[in-house]
Structure 1
Amino acid sequence: MPAEGTRMAGLWEREVGRLRPKRFADSVRASEDFVNSLGIQKRLREHRGCVNTISFNSTGSLLLSGSDDRTVVLWDWEAARPALQIHTGHENNVLHAQFMPLSDDRSIVTCGADGEVRYVQIEEGGRAVVDQVVETEYAVHRLAVEPGSPHTFYSAGQDGSVWRFDLRGKQSKELLKVGVIYDDGVNDALDLYAIAVDPRNPYRVAVSGSDEFVRLYDTRKYLHGDFGCPIDYFCPPGLITKNQDGITGLAFSQTGEILASYSCDNIYLFEREHGLHFNDFKVGVMPLYGDGVGAALPLYKDKLPEPRSFVGHRNKQTVKGVNFLGPNCDYVASGSDCGHVFVWRKKDGVLMRAMKGDKRIVNCVEQHPSEIVVASSGIATDVKIWAPGDCDPSTIDLDETQLKYVHCNAE
């Protein structure tokens, strides 16, 4: 019998029936071998512009991508061929696209730089019916689907608006407008770049944009007509009142942790105890600027707990997402301005890999729901599929010296 705890021991236990298939698959995907064995195995080529969004369906059989060419493509990624290409009707770049759950992969929602949110229904035979759900004056960067619901999803726009949609009656409702109220009474709407729904509680929605705070809302306060402030704010103590570049990506873990990717800074992992309200700093509706409510908070920043950070990538030139990898969210993954896919170990922030994924910039990294497969996309017009196997020569990792060089020259 192989030594206990080794990869060969896991294989042996699986072969003799002592390890259930699900547990075996999870243990492999959670191992460092999973991260270290990844290499580009396929390139999906059909788009004629930057690929801004990628996502797998619930079974992982299809991959959905959206592009500057204003189309979305449903990929049979294993065969590396498009199953269906859809002209969305967007008049500008498609920025995000998602499958709606429990819809047999026939229901897709999209948003774009034209300020529109659109709903795509795929009929028998592959005919796509596209409807405009809402149109705003500014770009809509991100959508968030309510877990387990084939009808409900949210959007976050560059005018600071958060919308809730119910596809059963094609109903749309602007829930709130996120803004900063200054001492002179001026209310500036934030540019919103990211929105995410807690998988454990569909009423908990996090948003972020052009300031330093992740805002966590309980949408029930808005759905029932009550005025409601964020139930908490999150920000690394050192960035309070100092970060002027905002947050481009958010992701919830299975246990409610929040990843936030700061532009011109690092990625941070927030847990409940990092909340400003949790630490008795009542921000209310006022910002942490000037002489207004919350102005004294910077004096007490040293009392706030520091979130874990993930360092090495650069997030300055484009709007990048951030994601967890592994069955138990064991790793953190992001693209970078240097064209690499970065993977860190979540428990201690150690950088595991920096893999070449684009000649210029990687923006999106997504994991297959059950297999040891990762997809990435960026400025290039193709989508890369990463899986265990011999590495494409173009995926050679950055060494420590090169990482320092990239980091310093991006300042």
Structure 2
Amino acid sequence: NVFQARFMPYTNDQTIVTCAADGEVRLAKIGDGGDVPTTLLGDHDGRAHKLAIEPGSPYIFYSCGEDGLVQHFDLRTNTATKLFQCRNSLSKSGHSSNIHLNAITIDPRNPNLLAVGGSNCYARVYDIRKYKWDGSSDYPSDCYCPPHLIGNRFVGITGLAFSHQSELLISYNNENIYLFPKNGGLGPDPKSSVKIEANKGSKSTIVSSGEDVDRPAPLMYAGHRNCETVKGVTFIGPNHEYVASGSDCGRLFIWRKKDGKFLRAMEGDECVVNCIEPHPHTMTIASSGIDNDVKIWTPSATERAPVVNIEELKPRKRRTKLWHFSLPEELIFHVLASRRRQQAAGDDDSSEDLEDSTGLLNLVLRAAERDVLSDEDEESSEDSGDCSLNLSMAQPWKHC
């Protein structure tokens, strides 16, 4: 399952780099005879979701993965260098778990600035010039987050994009899309050094190091649904005048960048639209999702399309659903301990533990079934499909 494939600049569209669900980052060369041999350049421990190519460079690009690692690649040597590991805590003291990274992007006006985001509320910007190449510097130079989401453990970032004006676009799961102006970040450690005092109209009053700082509130783009999968976000237009994203309803959404006005929703997929890629030179867009094909969009209609009312949009009929719910850690640990005792005791002495474990698991499944049935009662009658139960410890978000 290849998550992203990118042409390297100035290679006559014959050099492609990819990242995939197996964590591998590969180089593909399109030969004159049509052969496409691939070379393994590096890998991640877990899925590798996105690549970022250094603007104008036919050799340099970066990858990010669910291991929280950002890697640097140079095709002149076909080597991978581990740059830094993104961790949940921004404090330099104490241990912290890794962030599952979903997105990475480079500022086109300053290729030294690299932004990443994942299972955390903050988009982190790193200045490559300030970091050692041995992976020993893991802390960002700036962080971005809407004021109302700071410290929120139940949201994560699925998509990032820099505009030509160095604005940073962030797409959150179970939330909206936000646009931050250049230099509109909260600093390298916002949780400990920044306190939100008020939200007054278009300004957020922020107290930092004893001083009041007025920062423009980020623009918001709403109306789509980003809950089920890892969705990208992008700018479109010759001067990045518009913002585009996929949606769980199978539509492609377009907003006007300058004021967040919703412009259009287009039918793009039977299930979910995940990826949107603009053509680098023309007003052409490619979109893809769960379907097996890719759609190409061009503004060539002879009649003006009617404007879609977001309030009237209904969810599509889905083929499958992923239900996610949390279980108490004590219950999970009890089940696991019973399993271990069963294995240690052997088949002859494990009947009691097996019965206990089976009883607990049945109890869990019955509770899960009740949750699912309760949720189904709230769904539209059009929203039917197979149900897949995902039993896990408390996770703030889940992607398919």
Question: TM-score if structure 2 supplies the norm length?
Answer: 0.71
Unaligned runs of 5+ in 1: 1-92
Describe the superposition over 1:347-401 as per-residue Cα deviations: whole angstroms up to 9, x where unpaired: 1000000111111111111222222321111111111111123489xx9764243
* In structure 1, C-alpha distance between the alignment counterparts of 2:198 and 2:301, rounded to whole Å: 51
> Residue 201 of structure 1: which of 110, 116, 128 is its match?
110
Q: What does residue 151 of structure 1 align with?
A: 59
Deviation at 1:94, TM superposition (A): 0.5
Question: Is contact 1:192-1:209 (8 Å) kept?
Answer: yes
* In structure 2, C-alpha distance between the alignment counterparts of 1:224 and 1:388, rounded to whole Å: 45
Q: What does residue 195 of structure 2 align with?
A: 297
Deviation at 1:122, TM superposition (A): 1.6
Q: Which amino acid aligns with 1:136?
A: H
Helix, strand or coil for the counterpart of 2:37? strand
Question: Is contact 1:330-1:345 (8 Å) kept?
Answer: yes
Helix, strand or coil for the counterpart of 2:121? coil
Q: Answer yes or no: is 1:142 the counterpart of 2:50.
A: yes
Q: What does residue 380 of structure 1 align with?
A: 291
Deviation at 1:126, TM superposition (A): 1.5
Go from structure 1 to structure 2 and tell me whether the alpha carbon gap of 1:231 and 1:155 turns closer, same or farther (over 3 Å shift). Answer: same
Describe the superposition over 1:34-54 as per-residue Cα deviations: whole angstroms up to 9, x where unpaired: xxxxxxxxxxxxxxxxxxxxx
Q: Which amino acid aligns with 1:158?
A: E
Q: Which amino acid aligns with 2:171?
A: S
Helix, strand or coil for the counterpart of 1:124? coil
Go from structure 1 to structure 2 and tell me whether the alpha carbon gap of 1:397 and 1:366 turns closer, same or farther (over 3 Å shift). Answer: farther
Q: Answer yes or no: is 1:105 the counterpart of 2:7.
A: no
Q: Which amino acid aligns with 1:272?
A: K
> Residue 116 of structure 1: which of 24, 47, 60 is its match?
24
* In structure 2, C-alpha distance between the alignment counterparts of 1:136 and 1:224, rounded to whole Å: 17
Q: What does residue 229 of structure 2 align with?
A: 318
Sequence identity (%): 46
Q: What does residue 82 of structure 1 align with?
A: none
Q: Which amino acid aligns with 1:113?
A: A
* In structure 2, C-alpha distance between the alignment counterparts of 1:175 and 1:202, rounded to whole Å: 15
Describe the superposition over 1:286-308 as per-residue Cα deviations: whole angstroms up to 9, x where unpaired: xx3xxxx44x6355775143100
Q: Which amino acid aligns with 2:22?
A: D
Q: Answer yes or no: is 1:329 the counterpart of 2:227.
A: no
Describe the superposition over 1:41-87 as per-residue Cα deviations: whole angstroms up to 9, x where unpaired: xxxxxxxxxxxxxxxxxxxxxxxxxxxxxxxxxxxxxxxxxxxxxxx
* In structure 1, C-alpha distance between the alignment counterparts of 2:230 and 2:271, rounded to whole Å: 14
* In structure 2, C-alpha distance between the alignment counterparts of 1:182 and 1:209, rounded to whole Å: 14
Q: What does residue 28 of structure 1 align with?
A: none
Go from structure 1 to structure 2 and tell me whether the alpha carbon gap of 1:187 and 1:359 turns closer, same or farther (over 3 Å shift). Answer: same
Q: What does residue 31 of structure 1 align with?
A: none
Q: Which has the larger radius of gyration?
A: 2
Describe the superposition over 1:105-130 as per-residue Cα deviations: whole angstroms up to 9, x where unpaired: 11110111101111111222122221
Q: What does residue 265 of structure 2 align with?
A: 354
Q: Which amino acid aligns with 2:41?
A: V
Helix, strand or coil for the counterpart of 1:156? strand
Helix, strand or coil for the counterpart of 1:274? coil
Deviation at 1:137, TM superposition (A): 2.0
> Residue 174 of structure 2: which of 258, 264, 267 is its match?
264
Describe the superposition over 1:297-336 as per-residue Cα deviations: whole angstroms up to 9, x where unpaired: 3557751431000010011100000010110000000000
Question: Is contact 1:177-1:189 (8 Å) kept?
Answer: yes
Q: Which has the higher contact order (CA 8 A, sep 6+)?
A: 1
Q: Which amino acid aligns with 1:346?
A: K
Q: What does residue 236 of structure 1 align with?
A: 146
* In structure 2, C-alpha distance between the alignment counterparts of 1:386 and 1:254, rounded to whole Å: 22
* In structure 2, C-alpha distance between the alignment counterparts of 1:181 and 1:402, rounded to whole Å: 41
Q: What does residue 166 of structure 1 align with?
A: 74
* In structure 2, C-alpha distance between the alignment counterparts of 1:409 and 1:342, rounded to whole Å: 22
Q: Answer yes or no: is 1:186 the counterpart of 2:95.
A: yes
Go from structure 1 to structure 2 and tell me whether the alpha carbon gap of 1:406 and 1:308 turns closer, same or farther (over 3 Å shift). Answer: farther
Q: Which shows bigger deviation, 338-347 or 358-367? A: 358-367
Question: Is contact 1:335-1:362 (8 Å) kept?
Answer: yes
Match runs of 1:46-85 below 5 Å: none
Go from structure 1 to structure 2 and tell me whether the alpha carbon gap of 1:396 and 1:363 turns closer, same or farther (over 3 Å shift). Answer: farther
Go from structure 1 to structure 2 and tell me whether the alpha carbon gap of 1:135 and 1:323 turns closer, same or farther (over 3 Å shift). Answer: same
Between the two proteins, the alignment pairs up a number of residues equal to 304
Q: What does residue 126 of structure 1 align with?
A: 34
Unaligned runs of 5+ in 2: 207-214, 317-377, 381-400
* In structure 1, C-alpha distance between the alignment counterparts of 2:270 and 2:308, rounded to whole Å: 14
